[in-house]
A and B are shown apart, each in its own frame.
Chain A
């Protein structure tokens, strides 16, 4: 149980285009989901906290107009990288906390984005 999926697993796009990444909790409901970004040889950096039905809370330094987060249901959150640039190339990972848990997080397999 407690499986989180992400789609796509990898994507290559041209500079200036937008990319949407989906994060789904497959066998549980999650009020809260998180989005992280990881550059090569760096740690997972928290980008934003996403709560179902409300606006996401972004970490300092993360542009909310560039990284659009939508959490319309208890099993789906999406991250859209708008007007992507090569510096946005990274590994994007989501995680989710089940309704039945107060802190245990389950991670998706990640999405590798390359902007050319």
Chain B
């Protein structure tokens, strides 16, 4: 089983739509969870961290369910500028350091 798995997508939605992405992780010892946004041919940019209590940043809401080892990202009132690939990431601690393990990414295309 892969360490981090995501909805394959792509998601094609009209402006104003609400869209949700899901991600599961296999290591129950994982402590930190993130959503990143990646535009074509660019590096990933941190969108938000994900906490057990859930967190919201404007139109974006992230949730964590530790029991199900599942994280989600909800985008409300989609904008054209939200078109990108969204990657979930989970930390993995080892003797070498704490690395981020990424899901495959889900592509979102918002159209007018």
A residues in contact (CB < 8 Å) with B: 31-32, 34, 36, 42-46, 49, 51, 56-57, 91, 93, 95, 97, 102-105, 107-110, 112
- B94 CB–A CB distance under 8 Å: yes
Chain B binding surface SS class = loop
**What 6 new A-B contacts, CB under 8 Å, besides A42-B104, A43-B103, A109-B42?**
A36-B102, A43-B105, A57-B96, A95-B100, A103-B32, A110-B41
Minimum Cβ distance to chain A for residue B2 (Å): 10
Chain A binding surface SS class = strand
Interface size on B, residues (CB 8 A): 21
Minimum Cβ distance to chain A for residue B3 (Å): 10
11 CB contacts below 8 A, A to B, read: A32-B97, A43-B103, A43-B105, A44-B102, A45-B102, A46-B99, A49-B97, A56-B96, A57-B96, A95-B100, A104-B46
